[in-house]
Amino acid sequence: MISDAWLITRKDLWLLARDRRAVALLLILPMVFIAIVGMSTGQLFTQNDLGQQRKLVIADGCRSNYSGQLIEAFRKRDGLKVQLVDSASDAQQMVDLGRADAAVVIGPGFDERVDELRLSDVLDVKNGRLAQGLDSVDLTLETKLAIVDLELFRAGLFEAIFKMVGPIVGRKNALTRRYFTDEPDPEEEGVEATEPAPGRNRLEELEAALPKIPSPNAARKRGEGVYLILVPGFTVMFVFFLVNIMARSFISERELGTLRRLQMAPISPMSVLVGKTLPFYLISIAQCVVLFGCGKLLFGMSWGPHPLYLVPMILCTSLAATTLGLLLATLVKTDQQVSAYGTSMVIILAAISGCFMPRDWLPTIMQNLSLFTPHAWALVGFDAVLARRSVDALVVARCSGMLLAFSTIFLMVGWWRFRSSAA
């Protein structure tokens, strides 16, 4: 069985090596996609633009002391050029015309929303009033930035809001009031005041307790963060593009009559399937290795604290892709069906699973639905290896197991279909 399968594998590897278009699709095209998206977020050849200032226009619909403090906090942000405009419509027009990167509209309820904040809202962002982001303090952000830049920009603005709101909230709380005023607290007469630590001012005392949100420039300098999203996402998507090439290989063999002769030869159906699947499995592994290698060498992407955990994820992802290709090959009859069914399936599964954007940005229902695809389990596993300070071995094992389960189902159904067609 092994020798028969290996002979078929050698033959298919030789044929694939002569097909340069297939090599371009599997290796060059994903690199082009990664590079283009990387350049659009300023992380590749545009590194010299990292110091370029973003232009922010502000329409102050509140015109109060609080809004003035907020505008001053924005002006103190590194890499941000602030300009005031008269109205929200003027701000929107400047963004539409490309004269500003973003516009912030301070609503008339800004003062009231800030006064309603308590210390718990500032310290527990996820569960407090600030959980709704900018909307929670009657602020509106208008921009046409790419989605990755938008999230970084929004985080930077939110940090400026924290620096402005922190002292206001601190003065209203009995525990922190003494750090923000020189006047004694009448409610705490007789209680010895605790001085801030040497070398730190009162604002820094509260800032030490606030959630740390990276500024846009600091986050952009860590260019590898973008590629921790792009490289795994596009790698998984293009690994599953193998299904089209595999299906076309079966159709070609069927049209030439060689597949029928293999079925009539004294070779078991499983040997034929293994021999036809193994070359694509090896190519898929090589594809993953090349893409992750380029991510490391060209884009500075981290492989995580324990890169060896990438091995089971790559092996299991490639196996799921090739067995799905085997299943598709037993279902389609013509090249037109491959183009219609195979390409549509690959793109739809990639979109559902989160290959085009971080899975955390998907709605909860989409995240749950995506778990019915092998792509999603591959992305979760790669994220556990790449984007954590310490690898979660249980997550990697669970994801590898689910990918093996998908592979088993695809292989068994494909084997059943192949035997039925030979009967």
Which is more confidently placed, 219 or 347?
Answer: 347
pLDDT of 206 reads 43
Compute the distance between CA of residue 161 and CA of residue 155 in angstroms, rounded to an integer.
10
pLDDT of 259 reads 63
pLDDT above 70 covers a percentage of the chain that reads: 69
Residue range 273-310, pLDDT digits in tens = 777 788 888 888 988 998 888 888 877 778 888 889 99
What separation in angstroms does the CA of 319 have from each of 202, 327, 355, 373, 408?
58, 12, 18, 14, 9
The answer to whether residue 210 scores a pLDDT higher than 50 is: no
The answer to whether residue 213 scores a pLDDT higher than 50 is: no
Residue range 348-360, pLDDT digits in tens = 988 888 888 778 7
Q: Enumerate residues 6+ apart whose C-beta is below 8 A from 265.
A: none
Q: Enumerate residues 6+ apart whose C-beta is below 8 A from 177.
A: 170, 171, 185
pLDDT band, residue 196 (cuts 50/70/90): very low
Fold category of 52-217 in CATH: abc type-2 transporter like fold (3.40.1710)
Compute the distance between CA of residue 147 and CA of residue 317 in angstroms, rounded to an integer.
27
pLDDT of 47 reads 41
Domain coordinates in residue numbering, the chain: 2-42+223-422, 52-217
Residue range 363-418, pLDDT digits in tens = 888 888 999 999 999 999 998 888 666 778 899 999 999 999 999 999 899 888 87
What separation in angstroms does the CA of 214 have from each of 114, 153, 211?
22, 10, 10
- Per mean pLDDT, which range of 81-90, 102-111, 212-221, 357-366 is the poorest? 212-221
The answer to whether residue 209 scores a pLDDT higher than 60 is: no
The answer to whether residue 43 scores a pLDDT higher than 70 is: no
Which is more confidently placed, 34 or 214?
Answer: 34
Which is more confidently placed, 196 or 166?
Answer: 166
Residue 138 in 3-state DSSP? coil
pLDDT band, residue 180 (cuts 50/70/90): low
Q: Cβ–Cβ contacts within 10 Å for residue 80, how many?
A: 21
Which is more confidently placed, 114 or 313?
Answer: 313
The answer to whether residue 197 scores a pLDDT higher than 50 is: no
pLDDT of 360 reads 77
pLDDT of 79 reads 72
Per-residue pLDDT averaged across 170-183, rounded?
Answer: 66
pLDDT of 223 reads 47
The answer to whether residue 186 scores a pLDDT higher than 60 is: no
Per-residue pLDDT averaged across 237-266, rounded?
Answer: 74
Give one DSSP letter per residue of 105-116, joined into a string: EE-TTHHHHHHT
pLDDT of 168 reads 81
The answer to whether residue 19 scores a pLDDT higher than 50 is: yes
pLDDT of 134 reads 77
pLDDT band, residue 5 (cuts 50/70/90): low
